[in-house]
Structure 1
Amino acid sequence: MTTTQDHTEIALLVSRFFRALDERKFEEGWARAFVTDDVRTVTPIGLAEGAAAVRHTEEAIRRFARTQHVSADVLVDADAASGSATASWNAHMTHVHHPATLERRGPGADPLFTVGGRYDAELRRTDDGWRISRLSVEAIWTTGQPPVLPEGVEPVLPR
């Protein structure tokens, strides 16, 4: 049974995680406040696990000059006895392209790439509180152009 405290702690974890992405303070160990060491992420540009998932997240954010991630409707199902939980939330993610990207794309290039999506997560209670152990994001809609990706990487956009 989900307690109000568990729901509040997990919703705050989501908000702090999104804020950390937007503030881009990726000092060594920054992700330990949000994810387990064995975290697994599934995003529109791939699957990653552990430290690679953290690097993947940092690289994705750095593809843009600025970002703003907004979460809403966090739904939590927690089992305090087992120390596990699931959560899902809606997200509105605005990404501002780097000037070099806009220059490469030419006059009239849209400076924004905006995504409406849904996150699903599995969490574990650790000695330091709830941490995300599995995280997936599904893009439901987009506007603008996605970032310039490394050769061979294709984004999975909504159908």
Structure 2
Amino acid sequence: MTQRVELATLRDRLAVDELISEYAVAVDDGDWEAYRGLFAPGGRADYRSAGGTEGDAGTVAVWLAESMRAFSVRQHLIVNRRVRFGVLEQDVGDTADVRADYVNPMRLAAGEGAGAPDFVSGGRYAFGLVRTDDGWRLRQVVIEEKWRRTPERTAPAGVG
């Protein structure tokens, strides 16, 4: 591998990592316009394993906005990111698959119970990315919830 290829790959890895971080921040901050902007045209998300929905980025953003109202504090910690670059139309490096684990602590909104107990879940994300004229964008997000800890009362279904 030449130095030029190594530098381009490093630059792509940093851009992919930034996109995943932007995803977490958009969800945590409830910035649904930014969330939609992270997706390539036709991009989709699947939150069904966490009790949620599946669909295009706009549809899922509407669902997330409604579901996340139950929580005053959200913090997606996305770690152990494994990036693999793929081939699109014969060009190496124009797609990427990222597998990353997550822990997602959230605090129920005020008035939702004594002491606003925590809701915490964990699992794995599968992100499919594509290089576009606007940089790296999500073509697919699939969440695989593996566990959840809820307060004594039942937390709202479909959060993740």
TM normalised by structure 2 equals 0.77
Counterpart CA distance in 2 for 1:13 and 1:50 is 15
Task: Tell me if structure 2 keeps the 8 A contact 1:119–1:137.
Answer: yes
Counterpart CA distance in 1 for 2:72 and 2:36 is 24
Determine what percentage of the aligned residue pairs are the same residue. Answer: 22
Instruction: Compute the displacement of 1:156 (Å).
Output: 9.5
Gaps in structure 2 of 5+ consecutive residues: none
**What is residue 156 of structure 2 aligned with on the other side?**
148
Task: Tell me if structure 2 keeps the 8 A contact 1:64–1:147.
Answer: no
CA pair 156-97 structure 1, distance change in 2 beyond 3 A:
closer
Task: Supply the AA of the counterpart residue of 2:111.
Answer: A
Question: Which of residues 26, 30, 52 is equivalent to 1:20?
Answer: 26
Counterpart CA distance in 2 for 1:148 and 1:54 is 17
Question: Which of residues 70, 76, 81 is equivalent to 1:69?
Answer: 76
**What is residue 91 of structure 1 aligned with on the other side?**
102
Instruction: Compute the displacement of 1:13 (Å).
Output: 0.7
Which runs of structure 2 are paired with 1:1-159 in the superposition (5 Å)? 3-26=9-32, 29-43=33-47, 44=50, 45-79=52-86, 81=91, 83-102=94-113, 111-145=117-151, 147-149=155-157, 155=158
SS in 2 for 1:86: strand
Counterpart CA distance in 2 for 1:123 and 1:23 is 22
**What is residue 152 of structure 1 aligned with on the other side?**
none
TM normalised by structure 1 equals 0.78
Instruction: Compute the displacement of 1:96 (Å).
Output: 0.6
CA deviation digits over 1:99-135, x for unaligned, max 9? 2332xxxx5x761110111000111111111111110
Count of equivalent residues: 145
Gaps in structure 1 of 5+ consecutive residues: 150-154
CA RMSD of aligned residues (A): 2.6
